[in-house]
A and B are shown apart, each in its own frame.
Chain A
């Protein structure tokens, strides 16, 4: 048993098949909820459970559903954001691969709660093989009567489709996702109107993360109080954390929210690999500021992370060891955002390019006095001025890194090389190029 809830039976062989899924109690929450509980009751239960969006922003799910106008004559849509592209995050991939029916069941129940009759699963472009898994699961669910005009024999109608993105990180941003789903250029849209009011095809739309939706059947089956046995007051439930970096056992871990970071690394992941120590951890995917080793006792929940100036984000825990150059690591991250900036707004488009150029100078030993301040200043000029969160995501990690590891940046300027660098050491030792630098 790898986790208390979503990962409880994730490794059951053949779980992707509907028979196995049902044998383990699958679709029971659906049949026991539809007709028995009113949509409003479902929203109330999810509200009471305190479930927060697992995609990164942590917005209360029940509240989001309640924003959908009840009397709108327009059709309503539920969109599953399965464009999992946050660097360091690989949880939805495993969930969908192994347990597609839980997502389908979660979507049906969520759609029931705010009366959507159409759902889309927007998958990142690389998830073509997952699309095949989901499509066959959807076909099974339809054959079993869980999708279609009469879901589980009730009057509720729900159709579900998968859609493959074309390889843009920005399409994980919900409004860019909707633009892409409509066939337009994947760029974020102005908010308001928020998707709950005008989303897909200008109709009320809820966009939820894969993991969020998969929590819903459990919550509706067992109730809010049961769900709150895990986690903290403000962050109830469990969270799947994708741990990468030089720990002994990297991978996905489902833990109760609030678990201190140190315990995650030492207990779940078996500690650090031989010879290295934690220098910093990026707790929520590459978009959030890193935490220095001194803050390892912070709990992995939304509020504790905010209190130390970072975010739980998508739960992509990237562990950086003491032999990795932080400048190298941040250059890697910056190049990612420069490549993925959609180009809509000026600060993100031009700023990430400029940051990348400065980093390249630092990396190639051509850093000049003032470059670190320039980097901080450029990042600061992006922060809070970009159209969507991508600009902030590019700026925050670099600002955090400069704040905590200024001496490594300065070293690049003054010495033209890294203060620490496992790769260089390994190359010197003839071990070949293995390591953090992509």
Chain B
């Protein structure tokens, strides 16, 4: 902790860390110093001048010692001019006056200048009512205008489908331009002209070429940039505002929803709250639209005589319970499996596994429906430090070296990407991005290193990194037992090296490992690409090895982050939506540790590991699983093999689905429960920092819909369980009584920012050389292009395409090819192609982009018309598909 200094602001003495800016110190002293251009995530600019204050420092005598006045207080030498508080760091003994005649006059003058060319069109401005200029003009400005001459005017522009620009309102604070460059890494905005004719726009005045995040709108302190989708929709005072947690990715951004009646009209960041503060990505800002969709389910559906027909809620739960009982009685509880739940709140996840284990007696439960390989329940926790204090985004921004392993964060964790962009831009963070495609963070402008991995060679890459680190290591501070384990590991990894798999990158890998090892503050980030990889179990073990070898994992602090595929993927792991772990990572076979659960829940719990998601898929298709409960998961899209999933749904005697929409999966169910959306229920979600955050309920559930915890409780009660939770908070209290790491927490503490949970005793390091999956699970020998897939910025999962804005931005699905590859195949931009695998094919338009490596095709998975799991291969592991041109056709899905 840096030293503190004493400062006097308007007569109030405070102590703040040295280097604090006057504007921030004033906040501590509860003195309001207005700001416009200053922003917490941007370096001081000092342009708008609204924060002018009088500043004085102790007068020094000839002996360089402070001179004391007759009253014994040090004499203050006031600076002749007013100073900007946002650019001046406090020094010891500094005096600040914000309410002296000089300061007031200066501020009033600046305020008047800000309004000289401002149109004062507040009545028709979307910002009106929450406009900083309006507020500060009210607080500090004059009540009339001395400016009676013609104002300078500009023509308004639509900068693409999101941003509306009214430059007349602009006060040229440059926040939007700087945020776009330094935080988003997009550099899409610039200032044209100069002086009073300065105008913010895109470089060529064409639609913005960027992530369309709308953060420029968010940081705009006036109504110069407003959101087209929200334009003229509401006045802020007509909106109820509730802070909830974004349902899209694992970063867990706080979202402030503006609700009028039963409709969400907008989503905004939260300023000084939440991990993200003001930041939202395009999905966070516009992805809520599915909640308002008219296609939502509004009644439970029961399959009667082959067709789904509406039913009452109690009728549906009674029916579901009776059918579950029937299956359990006929085939045993081992014929029942639970899938999904990564998007549910923590309390609901807890109840889901409680229903499975305590009420029905099955451990066949796995939230990770997209996984292609059976991954143990604790693998992710071990890869990220075994439950020691988790890496935060704040750590990430100040890291010196960050390795992004196989993930395109733009599509999967946009906030984490912005954190890295800002770290690179402002704090000298160095990036190493291992990814087959030249993804955004791998671009030259971020000055990192790009390790272009061959799909299928991920394990070889991580091993090579680990070997290089072990050769240069050990990392300082490695505990003796870990050091011993690493020594053994070094021997085990020293075997035949798969040089061909890492190609000519050995030197780049060695230097990346060296940088990681050397950096004092470092991080490794991975996500879906590793988790859903056919070699996931080996990869996770390899990441654990790498973490310890590079010193990213230590006993008390982890520097490895897992950005899971869904908003509460972490919660699903923590709450035991895995076949081998109870909540809190307690092994189902550990009788002693299981005992408190049995005591609390009543009865004995199944003690052998259940089936993982890919195993449940197989078993259900073979008729070994007879009943399936799928919660909040469009399984036919998420399962790695659609044909097999369809067969499984057909084979099962009972399929229960809780969903927002009548998806293809729901259409094949016997019981469909209409579920409440994220904004319609309260509960806790856990983000990739392992931070518990409480999401508020912004509006009542759609008529007929119920939150999943109510659905689960209703069925459990119909099955004879004596559950009596009145609110999710009751469930949370039970969690805090039972689950290690959650003890002592309460809902009251979990408003943004919430609490990062840790295991009281972190899992010990497990350092072994993982064995490779059988070759059959890896690259096929087939001819064709290597299939790459992944999320895209605009669409993710099965909810994003239910709105209006995101699909518009996403445009049609595309199969992306390298220009050379396209030329070789005779395919031109926009032409229709067929992408065919061993068991299926789909048609899509081609697009050309040199970020895709030659010899491969990139097909994003979230588009409605593109069903990669029909192909019969798993993308990302080197599987190949055939891409052929379809004569004179466009698909345009």
Q: Are A350 and B114 touching (Cβ within 8 A)?
A: yes
Chain B residues 136-153 with CB under 8 Å of chain A are 146-147, 149-150, 152
The yes or no answer to B775 lying at the interface (CB within 8 A) is no
Q: Are B46 and A353 touching (Cβ within 8 A)?
A: no
Q: Are B116 and A387 touching (Cβ within 8 A)?
A: no
Of all chain A residues, which has the CB nearest B36?
Answer: A346
- Bound together, the chains give a CA A351 to CA B149 distance in angstroms of 13
Which of these, B80, B87, B105, B113, contacts A346 with CB under 8 Å?
Answer: B113
Q: Are A350 and B196 touching (Cβ within 8 A)?
A: yes
Q: Are B116 and A350 touching (Cβ within 8 A)?
A: yes
Interface string of B109-148 (1 = CB under 8 A from A): 1101110110000000000000000000000000000110
Interface string of A372-395 (1 = CB under 8 A from B): 001000001110111100000000
A310 CB to closest chain B CB (Å) equals 17
Interface residues on A, range: 20 to 34
Residues of B within 8 A of A341 (CB): 194-196
A93 CB to closest chain B CB (Å) equals 24
| Interface of A: prevailing SS | helix
A169 CB to closest chain B CB (Å) equals 10
Which of these, B48, B87, B146, B171, contacts A190 with CB under 8 Å?
Answer: B87
The yes or no answer to B106 lying at the interface (CB within 8 A) is yes
Q: Are A374 and B146 touching (Cβ within 8 A)?
A: yes
Q: Are B112 and A381 touching (Cβ within 8 A)?
A: yes
Chain A residues 301-355 with CB under 8 Å of chain B are 338-347, 349-354
Tell whether A344 pairs with B47 under 8 Å between CB atoms, given A350-B196, A385-B52.
yes
B173 CB to closest chain A CB (Å) equals 9
Residues of A within 8 A of B171 (CB): 346
Q: Are A384 and B196 touching (Cβ within 8 A)?
A: no
Q: Are A343 and B198 touching (Cβ within 8 A)?
A: yes
Chain B residues 76-122 with CB under 8 Å of chain A are 80-82, 87, 105-106, 109-110, 112-114, 116-117
A192 CB to closest chain B CB (Å) equals 10
The yes or no answer to A280 lying at the interface (CB within 8 A) is no
Chain A residues 112-153 with CB under 8 Å of chain B are none
Q: Are A343 and B191 touching (Cβ within 8 A)?
A: yes
Q: Are B44 and A190 touching (Cβ within 8 A)?
A: yes
Q: Are B150 and A357 touching (Cβ within 8 A)?
A: yes
Of all chain A residues, which has the CB nearest B48?
Answer: A346
The yes or no answer to B197 lying at the interface (CB within 8 A) is yes
Residues of B within 8 A of A346 (CB): 47-50, 110, 113-114, 171-172
Chain A residues 37-65 with CB under 8 Å of chain B are none
- Bound together, the chains give a CA A361 to CA B194 distance in angstroms of 24
Select the residue from B48, B109, B197 with max chain A CB neighbours within 10 A.
B109
Residues of B within 8 A of A351 (CB): 113, 116
Chain B residues 170-193 with CB under 8 Å of chain A are 171-172, 191, 193
Residues of A within 8 A of B106 (CB): 381, 384-385
The yes or no answer to B643 lying at the interface (CB within 8 A) is no
The yes or no answer to A415 lying at the interface (CB within 8 A) is no
Chain B residues 608-658 with CB under 8 Å of chain A are none
- Bound together, the chains give a CA A339 to CA B194 distance in angstroms of 8
Q: Are B49 and A387 touching (Cβ within 8 A)?
A: yes
The yes or no answer to A168 lying at the interface (CB within 8 A) is yes
Of all chain A residues, which has the CB nearest B43?
Answer: A190
Q: Are B49 and A353 touching (Cβ within 8 A)?
A: no
Which of these, B48, B80, B112, B195, contacts A352 with CB under 8 Å?
Answer: B195
Residues of B within 8 A of A353 (CB): 116-117, 152, 195-196
- Bound together, the chains give a CA A346 to CA B117 distance in angstroms of 11
- Bound together, the chains give a CA A170 to CA B117 distance in angstroms of 22
A336 CB to closest chain B CB (Å) equals 11
Q: Are A342 and B49 touching (Cβ within 8 A)?
A: no
Select the residue from A341, A382, A385 with max chain B CB neighbours within 10 A.
A385
Q: Are A349 and B44 touching (Cβ within 8 A)?
A: no
Which of these, B112, B191, B197, contacts A185 with CB under 8 Å?
Answer: B191
The yes or no answer to B799 lying at the interface (CB within 8 A) is no
The yes or no answer to B45 lying at the interface (CB within 8 A) is yes
Of all chain B residues, which has the CB nearest A380?
Answer: B109
B22 CB to closest chain A CB (Å) equals 14
Residues of B within 8 A of A384 (CB): 80-82, 106
The yes or no answer to A401 lying at the interface (CB within 8 A) is no
A275 CB to closest chain B CB (Å) equals 37
Residues of A within 8 A of B152 (CB): 353
- Bound together, the chains give a CA A351 to CA B48 distance in angstroms of 13
Chain B residues 34-71 with CB under 8 Å of chain A are 44-50, 52
The yes or no answer to A181 lying at the interface (CB within 8 A) is no
Residues of A within 8 A of B109 (CB): 347, 380-382, 385
Q: Are B116 and A354 touching (Cβ within 8 A)?
A: yes
Residues of A within 8 A of B81 (CB): 384-385
Q: Are B49 and A168 touching (Cβ within 8 A)?
A: no
Q: Are A343 and B194 touching (Cβ within 8 A)?
A: yes
Of all chain B residues, which has the CB nearest A384?
Answer: B81
Q: Are A352 and B49 touching (Cβ within 8 A)?
A: no
Q: Are B45 and A190 touching (Cβ within 8 A)?
A: yes
Q: Are A349 and B198 touching (Cβ within 8 A)?
A: yes
B195 CB to closest chain A CB (Å) equals 4
- Bound together, the chains give a CA A341 to CA B117 distance in angstroms of 15
Q: Are A168 and B194 touching (Cβ within 8 A)?
A: yes
- Bound together, the chains give a CA A341 to CA B172 distance in angstroms of 13
Interface string of A401-423 (1 = CB under 8 A from B): 00000000000000000000000
The yes or no answer to A358 lying at the interface (CB within 8 A) is yes
Of all chain B residues, which has the CB nearest A185?
Answer: B191
Chain B residues 685-716 with CB under 8 Å of chain A are none
Residues of B within 8 A of A385 (CB): 49, 52, 81-82, 106, 109-110
CB-defined A-B contacts under 8 Å, sample of 29: A168-B194, A190-B44, A190-B46, A338-B196, A341-B195, A341-B196, A342-B194, A343-B193, A343-B195, A343-B198, A345-B47, A345-B48, A346-B49, A346-B110, A347-B109, A349-B196, A350-B114, A353-B195, A357-B147, A357-B149, A357-B150, A360-B149, A361-B149, A374-B146, A381-B109, A385-B82, A385-B109, A386-B49, A387-B47
Beyond the given A342-B195, A346-B110, A349-B195, please list 12 additional residue pairs across the A-B interface where CB-CB is below 8 A: A170-B194, A343-B191, A345-B49, A346-B113, A347-B109, A351-B113, A352-B195, A354-B113, A382-B109, A384-B80, A384-B82, A385-B109
Which B residues have a C-beta under 8 Å from some C-beta of A? 44-50, 52, 80-82, 87, 105-106, 109-110, 112-114, 116-117, 146-147, 149-150, 152, 171-172, 191, 193-198
Q: Which 4 A-B pairs have the closest CB atoms?
A: A381-B109, A343-B198, A357-B149, A350-B113
